[in-house]
Amino acid sequence: MNVLELEYNNRLRLPHAAATIKEWATTAEAYRAECASEGRAEIGLQYGGTPGQTVDIFWPRQDTAKHICVFVHGGYWQLFNPSFFSHVAKGANENGVPMALIGYDLCPGVRIETIIEQIRTGCSFIWRRHNRRLVMSGHSAGGHLTAAMMSIDWASAAAGFDSSTVTAGVAISGVFELAPLMQTSINDKLLLDDRRASILSPVHWRPLPGALLDAWVGANESSEFRRQSQEFVATWKQAGANTTLMSVANADHFQAIAPLSDPDSDLTQRLVNLASRD
């Protein structure tokens, strides 16, 4: 087994992976049921023409935020759906901030290019439905998709949008350079080649002027995941983005999103602050 396989294949690398994913599903189901019983959940809103294109929105008991937070799940663009992650809305909700979880079709049924466009369409759907600006967040592949939304010229994307439709982003343990994945089994479904891996890597993209994007990474991540966030932040900062590298203490790849369920965590409070800005 090559070194990159161990660096990027977290389900292989971390012995608790299966148990953690099972816990996600159970905790998410419980939070979804709680919100539904209180009339605070909109589940399975269809924003596109395929089954994967759905949005789940979780509303706080008292909505005090100026913007809506968005979360995009990971799974290397080939696993999961929003139902595994409903609980990540809890921290924001308990601080008065709504959170929307955008789903998407999975590889190899579609390509990453299509998924990027689907997330853009999902963001547009939320914007048009609620007329509120968005703060993006995402984990792993969702971190990649968060960066993608910070690179779109929204003013040119569709009528009625402006450059601050997406006001900020928080990428958690993101994948910003795709070339290394070509040497792993992860590429069996991504079907990347050299050209597409380069084109689809946010580390090579130009951020929007003044883009505000944090890159948070688990302190116990593999060296490759830590390198990716470090190099991404350095590159985007040089290109003019307001980009900061942050650490999730005592967290590996699967544990890095746990603070989103805690209303008092540094990660949640960062999202809350971003969603409360003018």
The sheet with strand 212-218 has its strands ordered as: 41-46, 54-58, 99-102, 68-72, 134-139, 166-172, 212-218, 242-248
Percent of the chain at pLDDT > 90 equals 87
Instruction: Using pLDDT thresholds of 50, 70 and 90, give the confidence band for residue 210.
Output: confident
What is the CATH number for 11?
3.40.50.1820
The residue to which tokens 């929307």 are assigned: 100
In the predicted model, what is the mean pLDDT of residues 267-273?
A: 97
pTM for this predicted structure: 0.96
Q: Which domain holds residue 215?
A: 3-275
In this predicted structure, the answer to whether residue 213 has a pLDDT above a threshold of 90 is yes
Domain count, the chain: 1
In the predicted model, what is the mean pLDDT of residues 101-128?
A: 95
Token reading at 261? 């369920």
Instruction: Using pLDDT thresholds of 50, 70 and 90, give the confidence band for residue 1.
Output: low
Q: What is the pLDDT of residues 149-204, one digit of tens each?
A: 988 776 666 555 666 688 899 999 999 999 999 999 999 999 999 999 999 999 99
Calculate the CA 82 to chain-centre distance. 11
Answer whether 116's CB lies under 8 Å from 196's CB: no
pLDDT: which is higher, 162 or 236: 236
Calculate the CA 140 to chain-centre distance. 7
Largest CA distance in the chain: 51
